[in-house]
Amino acid sequence: MFNDLSWTQVARLVLTSRRLDELEEQELAPSGEVAYQFSAKGHELAQVLLGLHLTHPRDGVSVYYRSRPLLLTLGWSVQEALASGLAREGSASGGRDAGVMFNLPSRGRATVLPTAGGVGTQYTPAAGWAQAIRYYREVLEQEEWQGAIAVACGGDGSVASNGFWAALNLVTTRNLPFLFFIEDNGFAISVRSPLQTPGGNIAANLRSYGNLYVLDADGCEPLEAAQAIREAVAYVRQGHGPCLLRLRLVRLMGHTFVDDQAYKSAAEREEEAKRDPLLRLRETFPDLNWQNLEKEVEAEIRTALEKVRLAPDPDPNTACHGVFAPMEPVPERLPETQGPRLSLIEAVRRTLEQEMEQNPRLLVFGEDVGVKGGVHGATARMQKRFGEKRVFDTSLSEEGIMGSAVGLALAGLFPVPEIQFRKYADPATEQINDAGTLRWRTAGHFSVPMVVRIPVGFGKKNADPWHSVSGEAVFAHTIGWMIAYPSNAADAVGLLRAALRGKNPVLFLEHRALLDSPEARRPWPGDEYLLPFGQAACLQEGNSLTVVTWGAMVYRVFEAVQDLHGIEILDLRTIIPWDRERVLDSVRKTGKCLVVHEDTFTVGFGAEILATIASEAFEFLDAPLRRLSMPDCPIPYNAGLREAVLPSPQRIRLAIEELLRY
Ligand SMILES: Cc1ncc(C[n+]2csc(CCOP(=O)(O)OP(=O)(O)O)c2C)c(N)n1
């Protein structure tokens, strides 16, 4: 596979990476020009060899902070690498993220998926990319995806992470074209590998894992590493299924620039130095023109550094730009009000089906959404209609569901995962957080439009701490997600359709008590009915008090105000963005405001609304700002206990009357 010419290329790339690290360690980190320095010394050879195999333009590779040699092999320039470390214009993230947080749209070879800082987070998005390869090939019949593979690189510490195991399960149960590329240098900062996996050898431990081809090689030995990497990539590319390749490496420097490696003995460090892959490369190929290569590399790096030092810093005014994709205006259209009244869950299903008909990139998945049609019935019969490749069950791993949604979206598909209940989004928190910041931290090179559907809140007949969490405030604090919280079927249709045609990640919250309740039923609002995010509904006009609410509380508020006059009721419909202007206009008119929500009190979303009113409409207020919500307590199982904590129509009415009297 590798002739002399290719080994020259290997040597050049290894030298480039090595020299970049030295430059940073000796000059740029001490001077403070590079704030975070992570050395790849010892990992270069393995990564360069891998990169030279990732030649398919639809390959996708998830990397981590030690992956710069791979980036250089996939087409990243020295200048871009330096600009990223120095946070100058031209940096991969526009200076928003550390220089070792990579991303690279395909330059004819593999796409480098956006790196996140959490160890282990790289795995499930790569599994999503592998799933996308299959989807493009088998459902969309796009030949150009034939032979593409997904790769995830990680250290020996990362094999202890949730993400690693979630991805392992995903790719082996589905037999996806996926390569685990484990760069085992024996240490996770200072912690030795036997604490990450028993005996310290993940390859040995996974030998009997189903659907996994396992290889183990010395990543410092050029010929052995080249042979193992070639074999691993070929195995996956030929469609045999997933492979795990463990490469034994050395980390020649500290974990970062500030780590003095005092936890390694002198003898250990000496041993590591002897295994230096650059040394081994020189010994294996003494006839390469090393002197010349070194000179060329040095000149290239110095020229690039000069240019980067002259490049401007990013404009501070742009620091917050690009968290969201610009929202396209949604055409004004009133909902149709004739016809049979659909339940909220039927409305969701019908909208999903309609959009799936129109958009073949849309796919629906989650626990039990396939054969069963979802535990709430939202996807009933959809698998029959659209097939198992577009509507499918997943293993029980929310990290896996969300991470693969990220990978699918990065590959250009439109995932619509379901999380079974709000509480069970907890294991996916890291992927949700990282998905939200992804557009911003890649300076818009990548984005992950998707709709995550999550049933929330108490049920009509039951509630408990696990299945009845509302929890929108935590999501509202999660950067980069739009949040819909419809209170009726027509709003659900309009918002879901807008979300499915949009360019942003959306959390679509479906209230359990409203899924099949008569009060939330509405006629089908129309095949093209769209509702813009950030537009509250004024459900009742009034001049004496504004009540702001959403979700199931809408109906409790209605019950509370039945025979009262002058109450204006606003249903927010979306939490992010929320309709500040409509709320402020209303309070400027009424002078009084009560927010009613189901989520718990402290730092609930009501606090945000009232703080905004206090700040923007203080001079119009005639009464204290009030909010009624669940107390800071989980929602109980017993019906009496449950009603004791949920805002009841009686308590809402008392709060309103008190404010009216004020
Ligand atoms: C979830 C998470 N926990 C802790 C950290 C802090 N941290 C950064 S790197 C690292 C060690 C990772 O070691 P390994 O996966 O073996 O890769 P290596 O650095 O050795 O290449 C730790 C603990 C983190 N980034 N993410």
Report pLDDT digits (tens) over 41-57: 999 999 999 999 999 99
**What's the mean per-residue pLDDT of the chain?**
96
Q: Which atom of ligand 1 is nearest to the CA of 66?
A: 21
| pLDDT score at 460 | 87
Q: In Å, how far are 62, 212, 237, 368, 449 from 125, measured between CA atoms?
A: 8, 19, 19, 21, 14
Between the CA of 119 and the centroid of ligand 1 the distance, in Å, is 5
- Cα 170 to middle of ligand 1, angstroms: 22
157 lines ligand 1 (CB under 6 A): yes
- For residue 209, give both structure tokens: 């894992």
Give the residue ranges of DSSP H helices in 24-122: 44-53, 68-73, 78-85
| pLDDT for the residue numbered 332 | 82
Ligand 1 atom, smallest distance to 158 CA = 15
Question: Average pLDDT of 532-557?
Answer: 98
Count Cβ atoms within 10 A of the Cβ of residue 189 and give its class: 0-12 exposed, 13-18 middle, 19 or more buried.
middle
What pLDDT does 329 receive?
A: 85
Measure the CA–CA gap between 189 and 67, rounded to whole angstroms. 16
| 397 alpha carbon – ligand 1 mean position (Å) | 22
Model pLDDT, residue 633:
96
Residue 156, ligand 1, Cβ within 6 A = yes
Q: How confident is the model at residue 3 (pLDDT cuts 50, 70, 90)?
A: low
Q: Give the pLDDT score at 328.
A: 83
- Hey, is 118 helix, strand or coil? coil
CB 118 less than 6 A from any atom of ligand 1:
yes
pLDDT band at 4 (very low <50, low <70, confident <90, very high): low
**CA 314 to CA 83: how far, in whole Å?**
11
Mean pLDDT over 548-577 rounds to 97
pLDDT of residue 2: 54
Residue 1 pLDDT > 80: no
Q: Is 37 within 8 Å of 87 (Cβ atoms)?
A: no
Give yes or no: 467 in active site.
yes
Q: Would you identify the CATH topology of the domain 4-311?
A: Rossmann fold (3.40.50)
Name 417's bridge partners: 365
Tokens 């008090």 -> residue: 545
pLDDT in tens, 302-328: 999 999 999 999 999 999 999 999 988
- Angle made by CA atoms 53, 139, 409, in degrees to the nearest 5: 65
- From the CB of 82, is ligand 1 less than 6 Å away? no
Residue 119 Cβ inside 6 Å of ligand 1? The answer reads yes
- Nearest by Cα to 417 from 508, 515, 491, 511: 508
Rounded to an integer, what distance in angstroms lies between the CA atom of residue 387 and that of residue 381? 10
Q: Is the CB of 68 under 6 A from ligand 1?
A: no
Q: Which of 189, 247, 252 to mutate to test the pocket of ligand 1 (most atoms within 8 A of CB)?
A: 189
255 CB less than 6 Å from ligand 1? yes
**DSSP labels, 465-500:** TTT----HHHHHTSTT-EEE--SSHHHHHHHHHHHH
> Where in the sequence of the chain do the CATH 3.40.50.920 domains occur?
537-661
CA neighbor of 29 nearest in space, from 309, 298, 257, 183: 257
Distance 16 CA to ligand 1 centre (A): 24
- Calculate mean pLDDT across residues 68-82: 98
Nearest ligand 1 atom to the CA of 120 is 1
Mean local confidence (pLDDT), 257-275 = 95
Q: How far is the CA of 117 from the centre of ligand 1 (A)?
A: 9
Q: Which of 43, 467, 511, 597 is catalytic?
A: 467
Give me the pLDDT at residue 327, please. Answer: 86
User: For the residues 510-515, what does the mean pLDDT come to?
Assistant: 98
Render pLDDT for 10-22 as a digit per residue (tens, 0 to 9): 999 999 999 999 9
Higher pLDDT, 478 or 461: 478
Per-residue pLDDT of 165-184, as tens digits, reads 999 999 999 999 999 999 99
* In the block, residue with structure tokens 């998926």: 113
Residue 642's contacts (CB-CB under 8 Å, 6 or more residues apart) are 458, 463, 635, 636
Report the atom number in ligand 1 closest to the C-alpha of 121. 1
What is the whole-number distance in angstroms between the Cα of residue 157 and the centre of ligand 1? Answer: 6
pTM: 0.97
| pLDDT confidence of residue 269 | 95
- Ligand 1 binding pocket includes 582 (Cβ within 6 Å): no
Q: 155 in ligand 1 pocket by Cβ < 6 Å?
A: yes
Q: Which of 70, 16, 48, 102 lies closest to 446 in space, CA to CA?
A: 102
pLDDT tens column, 325-369: 998 888 888 999 999 999 999 999 999 999 999 999 999 999 999
Q: Under 8 Å CB-to-CB from 287, ≥6 apart: which residues?
A: none
What are the tens digits of pLDDT across the range 490-501? 999 999 999 999
Q: In the chain, where does the domain assigned CATH 3.40.50.970 lie?
A: 4-311, 341-523
**Nearest CA, atom 17, ligand 1:** 155
Q: Do β-strands 450-456 and 60-62 pair in parallel, antiparallel, or remain unpaired?
A: unpaired
CATH of domain 537-661: 3.40.50.920
Identity of residue 54: L
Determine if ligand 1 sits within 6 Å of the CB of residue 564: no
Nearest CA to ligand 1 atom 20: 188
% of the chain residues with pLDDT over 90: 97
Report domain 341-523's class.
alpha beta
